[in-house]
Amino acid sequence: MHVDAEIIDALITELMPYITDSLWIGEMNYAGRFAKYADVPIQNELNRIRAGQNPNIIRNIYNRYQGDPMIKWKNGIKKVVGLPMGNGARVGHLKTHGEPVLQKFHLSFWSSIQL
């Protein structure tokens, strides 16, 4: 899941009932490559999201969720807040038929692009 400062709290709250292992939070990757071919509405959303990825906002989000054992931090966030770097996140297996749907979910800035 990427860090969209405007909706991250609501998104985390909405996803948590479906997470059985961890929710990984990180910065948006490859925004520049994507923006290169994007139309104006997508470029505007990318600019809005990038503005929310500044160190002060990232530290604020980290401070709110650092004690939650279900939330893990991708390396971009770890770098900003001064945590040791890890091996990154791996996507877990999905479950169906009434069981939680996601074992691990990557929350990145891509999750909140709204057209």
Quick one: tokens of 25?
A: 């939070």
The verdict on residue 1 lying in a domain is no
The verdict on residue 65 lying in a domain is yes
Report how many domains make up the chain.
1
The verdict on residue 34 lying in a domain is yes
Residue whose C-alpha is closest to residue 27's, from 58, 67, 64: 58
The verdict on residue 54 lying in a domain is yes
The verdict on residue 3 lying in a domain is no
Digit-coded pLDDT (tens) for 56-109: 999 999 999 999 999 999 998 999 999 988 755 444 444 444 554 444 455 544
Residue-number span of the structural domain to which 72 is assigned: 8-112
pTM over 0.75: no
The verdict on residue 2 lying in a domain is no
